Amino acid sequence: MKCRKCSFENIKENKFCSNCGTELYPVPFYKKHPIKLALSLTSIFFFVLFFYSFISAINQIGNDLSLTQKSQGYISGKGENKIAVINIDGIIVETFESDGISSLSDNYTSAREIKRILEEIRNDNSVKALILRVNSPGGSAAASDEILSEIKRYKSETKLPVVAYLADVAASGGYYVAMGSDKIITNPATITGSIGVILSYLSFKELADKYGVKHIVYKSGEFKNLADSFSVPTEQEAKILQSVIDDTYNTFVKAVSEGRELDESYVRKIADGRIYSANQAMEAKLVDEIGNFENSIALAKKLANITEASVFEYGQKSFLDELLQISLPKLALKFLPNQLTTLPAFQKPQLLYLANL
């Protein structure tokens, strides 16, 4: 056997090199020092456990003491009166820890966080108007509906005007949440519309059949495993899924009809899932004006009957808040393309107000 150090050819019976004395058959570390290895692995385990426990505890303390909330950031204007701005940005989800890989992306809006911000604004008597700055292709149908309900409740309780400003994209759920506003201004380059519902998932049945993979399911009812990725829906199953889609779509149509004061039959004609440019949206009566963010501020002042106001963005996160929301899985996926982190194919089947953009 050749020595790994000096390449001298030794006989197999040798334990040490006849030339340099190097051990020919070294004992692996895990066999030579099993106790050290066990202690090292145990130390690593407890360190990771302590790290997550520490972060969770600090996060809870921060929430209790409101240390993680940077309430507002100045944008423009002057005076004691305030115009509050809330951003509906990115994919709309239920909470910051929602299921699905989309929650690992920084570019999303949490319905729960919007509710918290509205509570903060509601308690600020100097706020005289609210602007929703929407830049979202939509997301969860349930989360979009929660945001719309909270905006309506805020408007009902405060009697203050709400203006929606549509930025780059305000489609599907992004447009749905704007139905709680009194007026809608769209940027000239905005993509909006996409009124509709989608539910999608991947089917692996043919792939599984090809490689002999069997998907075993025990269920309590015939339709318990609807939208199973290892089967193709039957005609009856497809009808059930479509009926759920249709029912949710009716909710969307009703929201647009009420929010825009349009007849439902008319809304159904224009709500076939297509997107609209700013000019097309104006023609379809989906928005009130075409302009920029400054126009939305001017309109908010007009509706609030005030001439001067300081414009503040509410819901900004502090550095501590940003730090505490970082976890190892999120950090590992932080540099993935946004398209990958928001694909419905990577999520559980769910009803989405989401534009395919």
Which CATH number is 210's domain given?
3.90.226.10
CA nearest to 230, candidates 201, 250, 208, 255: 208
CA nearest to 277, candidates 339, 354, 352, 194: 194
Task: Single out the catalytic residue among 2, 32, 36, 224.
Answer: 224
In a domain, 5, yes or no: no
pLDDT of 65: 47
CA nearest to 199, candidates 238, 254, 256, 146: 238
Q: In the numeric block, which tokens belong to residue 274?
A: 């297509």
pLDDT of 7: 79
In a domain, 233, yes or no: yes
CA nearest to 150, candidates 198, 210, 189, 109: 109
Per-residue DSSP letter, 23: B
* CB-based contact 186:289 (threshold 8 Å): yes
Task: Single out the catalytic residue among 105, 140, 172, 296.
Answer: 172
SS3 category, 210: helix
CA atoms of 315 and 181, how far apart (whole Å): 19
In a domain, 168, yes or no: yes
CA nearest to 79, candidates 133, 127, 111: 127
Q: Which long-range contacts (CB under 8 A, 24 or more apart) does 53-62 make?
A: 55/324, 55/327, 58/324, 59/324, 62/320, 62/321, 62/324
In a domain, 189, yes or no: yes
Residues in the chain, how many? 357
Number of domains in the chain: 1
**Number of helices (H), then strands (E), in the chain:** 13, 13
Q: Which residue has the tokens 């709309």?
A: 92
In a domain, 126, yes or no: yes
In a domain, 49, yes or no: no
Q: Per residue of the chain (357 residues), what is the pLDDT tens digit? A: 677 778 778 777 777 777 887 777 666 666 666 777 778 888 888 888 777 677 666 655 555 544 444 556 888 889 899 999 999 999 998 875 544 434 444 578 889 989 999 999 998 899 999 999 999 999 999 999 999 999 999 999 999 999 999 999 999 999 999 999 999 999 999 999 999 999 888 888 888 888 888 888 888 988 888 888 888 888 998 999 999 999 999 999 999 999 999 999 999 999 999 999 999 999 999 999 999 999 999 999 999 999 999 999 987 655 455 554 544 444 444 444 444 444 444 456 678 888 876
Per-residue DSSP letter, 22: -
Per-residue DSSP letter, 178: G
Compute CA 63 distance to the chain's CA centroid, rounded to the nearest angstrom.
21
pLDDT of 42: 84
In a domain, 37, yes or no: no
In a domain, 165, yes or no: yes
SS3 category, 127: strand
Q: What pTM, to 2 d.p., does this model score?
A: 0.73
Q: Which helix (H) or strand (E) holds 167?
A: strand 162-171
Measured in Å, how far apart are the chain's first and last C-alpha atoms? 64
In sign, the C-alpha dihedral spanning 92, 96, 102, 108 is: positive
- Is residue 36 annotated as part of the catalytic site, yes or no? no
Range of the domain at 175: 69-354
Q: Residue type at 234?
A: T
- Is residue 318 annotated as part of the catalytic site, yes or no? no
pLDDT of 108: 82
